[in-house]
Structure 1
Amino acid sequence: MDTEVLVVGAGPTGMTLANELLTAGVSTVLVDRLARRSELSKAGGVQSRTLEVLDQRGLLEPLLATGDHPVTTGHFAGVPLPHSSDRHRLPWRSVPQVVIEGFFEEHLGARGLHVRRDHELVGLAQDGTGVTATFAGGTSLRARYLVAADGAHSTVRSLLGAAFPGEPGTLTIIAADVRLDGADPSASHTWNEDGYWAALFPLGTDAEGRPLRRLVLGGPGQSLPRETPVTEDDIRTGLNTVFGTKVHLLELRYARRITNASRQAERYRHGRVFLAGDAAHVHLPLGAQGMNTGMQDAFNLGWKLAAAVRGWAPANLLDTYHAERHPAGAAVLRNVRAQSLLMDWAGTRDPEVLAAREIFTSLAQLPDVQNHLGDLMSGMAIRYPMRDPAPGGTSHPLLGLPVPDLDLGGVRVHELLRAGRGVLLDPADAYGEVAAAWSDRVVLAGRGAAIEPLLIRPDGYVCWAPPAPLEPALHHWFGEPL
């Protein structure tokens, strides 16, 4: 083997996965077909759950130190979802994708992993022991596992012949990184009476400290072939149509046309090859859910691949990647479809759609509805289907959910997860003898703290709680003991 894991694609998903594997001590090669890192800010926001996991790996503070990344308000179908300070520990942040990629590439490089660029994949073969990837020019790499993080038009997925069902794109809209004059800083989505609309989101500031915005423009007659270049005149015309003479374009950084295609791979695992990020699911870019869902794919898969490489992965652990992340991806596709309908993405001004949006907007003012939608959009609503061997089948309310950041008396849970191992909270020292055999994989903590016992996976999800017996859960998630 040239490496244990080969990751194809050095976007946020691929770099997150590479970092997870490095944290677990797994040899990793990260390749990308581009000769240099893209400067396109394809996404602009980091959700609460992604921020939590970055914090669990000690990456959040250094990421936020890269520039001005303000707290931002989420939305559902253009209806703002105010941040509630007591609901999620870490509110959404405006961090452009280009910043995330630059941060990860520097971080990985400092740890000795440098992206191998200008590597265009042209061939793929796997057998019972590994995967062989062939690149343009005739070079090849052999790995025990391969992960496709190579985007919506994934070469890996094509070479596998993997089914990618869904709906093709039926229209396009414009997305651009711009500097504007006259735009209301608090504005997000604006419609005019003819169905033309604009969405504005903060992207921090440029090198001179000037505010940058992500601008999205759509409406009737705006849909052109995806390959059609976007000009400054297109941007100015769109701004004038929606805002009149109030908002002016100062600088166009980049622009592209995006489609409303909605597809999801039937299977995320194909033997020793795994699909993650946009290679596994594509949809309209609403709420930066594509980037965040891809990074969450990586957090879920990384520790499981590490367990397989190290030889202690229990039976079917790698299969839980599809079992857990496919439903999560499907849920994102559903909420995006609902949002695109309520937003009247195509600018039809259909009276039935407008009536539904009016009622939805009223409902979205209710705190319970805001909380539900906020959890949905922030990634906090995901509950993995955990095996619960408790007597009577009663599930603990935290089972399958992210662990709260509990205070253990001088240390918090997220700090204990930085080594990429599992954590057993045992305040009464009742389970130490049972857990001792898994001490190379599970950290024992919380003695004397005012908490309840919990077993936490390396990705921060609760996978056991009393009154269920602990030992079956340790076997199920952490394999055979020492």
Structure 2
Amino acid sequence: MDTDVLIVGAGPTGLTLANELLLAGVSTVLADRLPQRSDLSRAGGVQPRTLEALDQRGLLEPLLATGEHPVGNGHFAGIPLPLGSDEHPLPWRSVPQVVIEGFFEEHLAAHGLRARRNHELAGLAQDGDGVTAAFADGTVLRCRYLVAADGAHSTVRSLLGAAFPGQAGTSTVVAADARLDGADAVLSHTWNEDGHWAALFPLGTDPQGRPLRRLVLGGPDHSLPREVPVTEEEVRRGLDTVFGTRVRLLGLRYARRITNASRQVAEYRHGRVFLAGDAAHVHLPLGAQGMNTGMQDAFNLGWKLGAAVQGWAPKDLLDTYHAERHPAGAAVLRNVRAQSLLMDWAGTRDPEVLAAREIFTDLTGLPEVRHRLAGLMSGMAVRYPMPGTEDHPLVGRPAPDLDLGPARVHELLRSGHGVLLDPAGAFARTAAPWSDRVERVDRVGQGVAAEPMLVRPDGYVCWAGAGDPVPALGHWFGEPR
């Protein structure tokens, strides 16, 4: 083997996965067809659950130290939602995709892992032992596993012939990175009577330190074929149509057309090849859910591939990647389709759609509705199936970041191992055979109420409460030593 894992695609998904494999001690090659990293923002926000996962790797504080990344609220179909809570206190942050990619590239390079640029995949073949990948420049790599993180037009997905069912795009809108005057004085989502609308989100600053906004313009004037270039005149005209003279264009970094296509691969695993990020699911870019969902794919898959390479993976552990992440991706596509309808994405101003939005907006005044929608948009609503232990309310969900005295739960996960919280000290001998994979902690901070729980390396609780943790230890962490 030339490497244990080959990752095709060096976007947020591929870079996150490369870091997870680095943590697991797995040799990795990261290849990308582009000659250099894009300087375009693309996605612009990080969900609370992704922030938690970054904190569990010790990366959150360094990432936020890269610049001004303001706290903000999320939205559902343009209806504002608070995306922080007492249970999960990390709020939504404005961190453009370009910043995340640059941060991960520097972090990985400091540990000796650099993306191989100008590497365009041309063919692949797999057998019982590994995958052979051929690149357009004649390079051939042999690896144990290959992960497709190469975007919506995935070459890997095409070479596999993987089914990619869903809905083709029926309309387009304009998405742009722009410098604007007057943006602070208008609503983040604004519609006018003829079906034109605009959405504005902070993007930090451009290379000269000037404030940037993500601008989305929709409606009849902007639903043109994707290949039609977006001009400054079209952007100025769109702003004038929605805002009049209140918002002016000062500068345009880039603009493109995006569609409302919605697709998801039927299978996330094809033998020794796995699909993640936009290679596995595409949808409207609402709430940066595409980037965040892809990064969560990587957090889920990384430790499992690490276990397989290191030789302690339980039977069928790699199959749980599809079992857990396919439903999570399908849920995102479902909420995006609902938002597209309620936002009147196509600008139809259909009276039935407007009536549905009015009633839905009233419902969001109910605390339980806001909580449910905030869970969807924050990434916190995901609950993985955990066979035989689903009855406990913590199981399948992200672990609470309890203060355990010398360290928080998130800090303990930075080793890439699992954590067994044993406040009564009852499982010292029980857990000892898994001590190379699971860290047992029998201390909690003063005044902290904690019950026994077993936390996977990706931060999800896989057993909690009374009873014997051995079945869960074996199911997720393999045979005892």
CA distance in 2, matches of 1:331, 1:239: 33
Q: Choose the corresponding residue for 2:420, options 415, 424, 432.
A: 424
Deviation of 1:8 (Å):
0.3
Conserved 8 A contact 1:10-1:149: yes
Q: Which residue of the other structure, out of 407, 410, 431, is the alignment partner of 1:411?
A: 407
CA distance in 1, matches of 2:364, 2:429: 50
Secondary structure in structure 2 of the residue aligned to 1:45: coil
- Residue 383 of structure 2 is aligned to residue 383 of structure 1: yes
Query: Structure 1 counterpart of 2:353, which letter?
Result: V
Unaligned stretches of 5+ in structure 2? none
> Which whole-Å CA distance do the structure 2 matches of 1:426 and 1:12 have between them?
35
Report if aligned partners of 2:83, 2:377 keep a CA contact under 8 Å in 1. no
Residue correspondence of structure 1 range 20-99 to structure 2 within 5 A: 20-99=20-99
AA in 2 matched with 1:140 = V
Contact 1:12 1:295 in 2 (8 A): yes
Q: Assess if the C-alpha contact under 8 Å between 2:84 and 2:90 holds in 1.
A: no
User: Identity over the aligned pairs, expressed in percent?
Assistant: 78
Mean CA deviation greater in 362-371 or 56-65: 362-371
| Aligned-residue offset at 1:185 | 5.3
Shift in Å at residue 365 of structure 1? 1.8
2:432 counterpart of 1:436 = yes
C-alpha contact (below 8 Å) 1:428/1:448 kept by paired residues = no
| Structure 1 residues 340-391: Cα deviation after superposition (integer angstroms, max 9, x where no partner) | 00000001010000000000111112222111101110000000010125xx
Alignment of 1:229-378 (within 5 A): 229-378=229-378
- Matched residues in 2 for 1:474 and 1:140: separation? 39
2:278–2:290 Cα contact (<8 Å) kept: yes
Find the residue that maps to 2:292 and give its secondary structure: helix
**C-alpha root-mean-square deviation of aligned residues, in Å?**
1.1
Q: Give, in angstroms, the shift of residue 228 of structure 1.
A: 1.3
CA distance in 1, matches of 2:41, 2:157: 24
Q: Which residue identity does 2:110 align to in structure 1?
A: A
Shift in Å, 1:184 = 2.5
C-alpha distance in structure 1 between counterparts of 2:419 and 2:186, whole Å: 41
> 2:283, 2:336 within 8 Å by CA — same for their partners in 1?
yes
Report the CA distance between 1:83 and its aligned residue.
4.4
Amino acid at match of 1:386: M
Question: Residue 182 of structure 1 aligns with which residue?
Answer: 182
- Structure-1 separation of matches of 2:267 and 2:130: 19
Using the TM superposition, name which of 440-449 and 334-343 deviates more. Answer: 440-449
CA distance in 2, matches of 1:85, 1:308: 36
Unaligned runs of 5+ in 1: none
Query: Post-superposition shift, 1:459?
Result: 0.2
Q: How many residues align?
A: 478
SS of alignment partner, residue 183 of structure 2: coil
Structure 1 position 206, deviation (Å): 2.5
CA distance in 2, matches of 1:264, 1:357: 27
Asked if structure 1 preserves the Cα contact closer than 8 Å seen for 2:48 and 2:83, the reply is no
Residue 142 of structure 1, CA deviation: 0.6
Shift of 1:470: 1.0
TM-score between both structures, scaled by the size of structure 1: 0.98
2:239/2:248 contact within 8 Å kept: yes
Q: 1:187 Cα shift?
A: 2.3
Q: Does 1:451 align with 2:450?
A: yes
Which residue of 2 is the match for residue 153 of structure 1?
153
- In structure 2, relative to structure 1, the CA distance for the partners of 1:464 and 1:178 (3 Å cut) is same
Q: CA deviation at 1:87?
A: 4.4
Q: Separation in 1 of the partners of 2:60 and 2:432?
A: 31
Q: CA deviation at 1:84?
A: 4.6
The CA distance in 2 between the partners of 1:419 and 1:409, in whole Å, is 17
Partner amino acid, structure 1, of 2:107: H
Code of the aligned partner of 1:443: E
Q: CA deviation at 1:465?
A: 1.4
Residue of structure 2 equivalent to 1:473: 472
- SS of residue in 1 equivalent to 2:158: helix
Q: Deviations along 1:169-211, whole A, 9 cap, x unmatched?
A: 1111100000001122562100001110000000012344321
Amino acid at match of 1:399: V
TM-score with structure 2 setting the length: 0.98
| Alpha-carbon distance in 1 for matches of 2:108, 2:294 | 18
The answer to whether the Cα contact below 8 Å between 2:71 and 2:91 also exists between their aligned partners in 1 is: yes
What is the distance in 1 between the residues matched to 2:244 and 2:372? 36
Report the 3-state secondary structure (helix = DSSP H, G, I; strand = E; otherwise coil) of the residue aligned with 2:58.
coil
Partner letter of residue 217 of structure 2?
A: L
Report the secondary structure of 1:357's partner residue. Answer: helix
What SS is found at the alignment partner of 1:43?
A: coil
